[in-house]
Amino acid sequence: MCHCLACQRRTGSVFGAQARFPKSLVTVEGHSTSYVRTADSGAKITFSFCPHCGATVFYTIDSDPEVVAVPVGAFADPSFAPPTVSVYEARRHPWVPTPEGVEHYD
């Protein structure tokens, strides 16, 4: 199965937005349910979900073990800072613009 659009499938959106934090600055409290998938790169990604509503609350990538990624939507804050990096642009829907001034990676 092609995982090339896996983030779009996982989020139900045309892209996945995340904020990454040093693991040493993150405290996880409460219960979560995990799901592990293999990325196109071969890295294992462990997604942790709220066991009550199913929302992704954070995830880790084994190729970058000192980082915790949190979906921006989990903050429920419309004033959350805009992105500084855009990745996987080769998979971007052509009608989805990227903000000016961000670093771009295919």
How does pLDDT run across 40-59, given as a tens digit for each residue?
778 899 999 999 999 999 99
Amino acid at 81: A
Angle subtended at Cα 89 by Cα 35 and Cα 44, rounded to the nearest 5 degrees: 25
Q: What is the pLDDT of residue 42?
A: 86
Q: Where are the domains of the chain?
A: 18-104
| Type and span of the H or E element at 10 | helix 6-11
Q: What pTM does this model have?
A: 0.82
Across 79-103, average pLDDT: 85
- Residue with more model confidence, 82 or 4: 82
Percent of the chain with pLDDT over 90: 51
